[in-house]
Structure 1
């Protein structure tokens, strides 16, 4: 049993996507973008990708707000179609908020890359903000839309 748990832990860690932290107040932040370990992440237009962020919370919070954006010509443009209520995408139920200080938080949601998007290289930012508006997790990752 321990061997299985160890193998699963190593497998989940090995698939983490390398990212730049942009001011997380939570700790032990891990980003997983489906099919991407080493940026830039190649995202095919017309496809949907699972994005998972895990972190250890800095404080108890009854909310988790998602802010996802792409940098276009120096301007952070909100990613269309993102449900900003992060509590709905937390592991453990339909709405597992509140979460406690020091707890491991596991957020996953599908992100659509619409076929209407132009083929380009950009930087995508995901911020998961607590009720105080502080980014528990803030990740920046280069992507190329193909």
Structure 2
């Protein structure tokens, strides 16, 4: 019988294998972009991503760190009218439980030159306004981006 980790990892692999890679942009703050091999965001191949209120958006990022990493934190915010707003419940959380190696083993530490998958998501709440925004998503080690990308998005009804 499959354990929870095996089922989750199989789901992640299917998502990466059968999903279309999403075109994303390099972070304006210069964070690392070269370590990212692919990103798949549900129902979004080309920006702007349409984020429908009342749904959940899932993301899988395939990356290869250039150095050993002990711990990572998730940083996610939307820039709206020039103001960065954190995604509550995702921003500032421990990224390690959402990272898996090619064998499905979860967690940190990470080894340089090894391929990993980061899977996470967020709800698009019904009270969010219908607006255009830019989402910046980073995995931070000691507040320094290991991976970072931005994607234009639009919240819709």
Fold in common (TM above 0.5): yes
Match for residue 7 of structure 2?
Answer: none
Residues 15/29 of structure 1: CA separation in 2 closer, same or farther (3 Å cut): same
Residues 26/50 of structure 1: CA separation in 2 closer, same or farther (3 Å cut): same
In 2, the alpha carbon distance for the partners of 1:64 and 1:26 equals 17
Root-mean-square deviation (Å): 2.1
- Which structure 2 residues correspond to residues 1-146 of structure 1 after superposition, within 5 A? 12=17, 15-22=20-27, 23-24=31-32, 27-82=35-90, 84-91=93-100, 92-93=104-105, 95-130=106-141, 132-146=142-156
In 1, the alpha carbon distance for the partners of 2:150 and 2:137 equals 7
TM-score, normalisation: structure 1: 0.84
In 1, the alpha carbon distance for the partners of 2:56 and 2:19 equals 22
List per-residue Cα deviations over 1:75-117 (Å, max 9, x = no partner): 1110112161100111234x52001011112100121111110
SS at match of 1:36: coil
Segment of structure 1 superposing worse, 65-74 or 23-32: 23-32
Unaligned runs of 5+ in 2: 1-12
TM-score, normalisation: structure 2: 0.78
List per-residue Cα deviations over 1:113-136 (Å, max 9, x = no partner): 111100111000000112x43212
Contact kept, 8 Å, 2:19 with 2:40, in 1: the verdict is no
